[in-house]
Chain A
């Protein structure tokens, strides 16, 4: 009884961390910059394809592909930001929504054209496929790895935003653009870097996710709902909020599926609707 409870707790937390890694970039672009970035999962998909290509075709080790996935997504988003997104920072939410959906459509068709519609198989190295046994508990290494990665991302991100000069510039630019410009902050540059950071995190999340959720061109649509749920429940602009929301959603989803499987499909939505009715601005939201 207790052992299965621990198991559910662990699995749920790891699943939550997967959701967190996929969505943390969105709490930067949508949350902090207030840009309705529905193309978030397209950047995640890009990261995934980069990892698959490097591993499958060039024989790179899995871990070495991760920074490349981050950089590729960041680079691609920086280019798109310059051409497409920047002129739209002040446009209506609806226009941002339409533009980024257009980007999703193009990316889905592009991925299908380049890689075909087939599932991309990923074979992780042996040490990540094992499980650690502790007494009667079994902890799969990859789940431990996901948890570790999520914690690392959270610490680095929070530290970078709260404790560095760059972080202070970002917060200033996000809070009050005109004032920040007046203070001589290069707002355009800060926004470009922030956007690239958010999308790079998406790329990293995508690369880490494919082992669990697979990869094909419909990826850009399939996980969009999940990432928006995490960001909205966590509260916009709050990294800690996204972390808490992802953990909560992951654990409740897993526990629900284990104890009341008949409710399996309803749970994540029920929890989301319930939490948002209780706290419309999200768990850690300020607005």
Chain B
């Protein structure tokens, strides 16, 4: 008896194998950039994951949910891959989840494919990611899903010419291509484009270039964080505002902190996104209220809703499989799943395992003294156009 216990403890210490527990568990390994430049995206996602667990309990289909958090420290595919491998061989997790950044998601995808583990991408938005592992599902969005739709929308809504400005890296290139494709295919004209360095503290030179062309509209993509406010201020300084030139952008451009920093200069900016905490629905009001209470008044953002829906997907899939955690079973359960998310109705496309959702067009307006993103148009049931083309 004693020797068995000692042996088991030794085995646990040496091989990281835990002896049989009283209640069966499902382990979820979260791989995110908890520290470093992207720490805030991870924090917002984690807040929503914690909220989901608080609201829904930590037991599904008779199994206890256990979460193990791992930090990649930023863009580090080598680290992300190692963490995924360690989570699987050492901690014996059943599900890999999180993934804010594309390179990290791509690296971990190999591990998911090789070990046949279910993987839920809760943010990383490059289109091809889900093709890298058949056990992967995404609950955020893809860049072309938003920008290509937006390009088409812009042309249909009376914008004839556009100048595009994007950050010079993968997601920026995707956004540029997506928007230009949608816009040109609908008959619009791209009168110029510029790419700025990823680390760029001062945008005035690039804004001046755009102003020289004097386009009817400008499309902007910058990563969230410092840059939205910086470019917004540069636009205002150069005298570009919604009255003279339409400013279009991805939703990062008018996030909460960016609007606050820009002030009234942000009024009239039109952006495309799949979620805003201001979205008017019962599900969202409840979500935002609970999120505010749990996080000292801070509002959820797209990372939060991606994490929240990701957890919901995991819970529902586990219910469907009756607690079975094999990758095949979970991914089969996830395919075609539909639910009412805080962002509106969403579904998992059974072919691409990517999210199908409503894309919102919003404009910054002053409502009751507050600057808010007001949704004024929507395109429903948008699939990722990139993979639709790939399939053709």
What residues make up the interface of A, taking CB atoms closer than 8 Å to B?
A: 4, 7-8, 11-12, 15, 18, 109, 112, 116-123, 129, 131, 138, 140, 142-143, 211-214, 216-218, 222-223, 226, 254-255, 257-258, 261, 264-265
Please give the distance in Å from A279's CB to the nearest CB on chain B: 25
Say whether, besides A119-B225, A119-B226, A265-B168, A258 and B237 are in contact (CB < 8 Å): no
Residues facing A in B193-217 (CB within 8 A) are 194-202, 204-206, 208-209, 212
Chain A residues near B200: list those with CB within 8 A.
264-265
In the bound complex, CA of A275 to CA of B35 (Å): 35
In the bound complex, CA of A216 to CA of B205 (Å): 24
- By the criterion CB–CB under 8 Å, are B205 and A257 in contact? yes
B40: contacting residue among A109, A119, A142, A213, CB under 8 A: A119
- By the criterion CB–CB under 8 Å, are B36 and A121 in contact? no
- By the criterion CB–CB under 8 Å, are B261 and A11 in contact? no
Max chain A C-beta neighbours (<10 A), residue from B206, B226, B238, B265: B226
B229: contacting residue among A119, A223, A264, A265, CB under 8 A: A119
- By the criterion CB–CB under 8 Å, are A213 and B209 in contact? no
Chain A residues near B230: list those with CB within 8 A.
212-214
Chain A residues near B197: list those with CB within 8 A.
264-265
In the bound complex, CA of A118 to CA of B39 (Å): 8
In the bound complex, CA of A95 to CA of B233 (Å): 41
Chain A residues near B39: list those with CB within 8 A.
112, 117, 217-218
In the bound complex, CA of A170 to CA of B238 (Å): 44
Chain A residues near B168: list those with CB within 8 A.
264-265
Q: How many residues of B contact A (CB 8 A)?
A: 40
Say whether, besides A123-B260, A212-B202, A138 and B237 are in contact (CB < 8 Å): yes
A selection of 21 A-B contacts at a CB cut-off of 8 Å is A4-B212, A8-B208, A11-B202, A15-B204, A18-B201, A18-B202, A117-B42, A117-B43, A118-B40, A119-B226, A120-B257, A121-B229, A129-B236, A138-B237, A138-B238, A142-B237, A213-B226, A214-B226, A217-B39, A257-B206, A261-B205
In the bound complex, CA of A4 to CA of B238 (Å): 12
Chain B residues near A265: list those with CB within 8 A.
168, 197-200
Please give the distance in Å from A206's CB to the nearest CB on chain B: 13
B298 closest partner in A (C-beta):
A118
B37 within 8 A of A: yes
Chain A residues near B239: list those with CB within 8 A.
131, 138
B193 closest partner in A (C-beta):
A261
- By the criterion CB–CB under 8 Å, are B261 and A122 in contact? yes
- By the criterion CB–CB under 8 Å, are B36 and A7 in contact? no
Please give the distance in Å from A264's CB to the nearest CB on chain B: 5
Given contacts A15-B201, A121-B261, A213-B226, 9 further A-B contacts (CB under 8 A): A11-B208, A112-B35, A117-B43, A118-B40, A119-B257, A121-B229, A122-B261, A140-B237, A257-B196
Max chain B C-beta neighbours (<10 A), residue from A8, A109, A117: A117
**Mask: chain B, 170-199; 1 = CB below 8 Å from A; 0 = not:** 000000000000000000000000111111
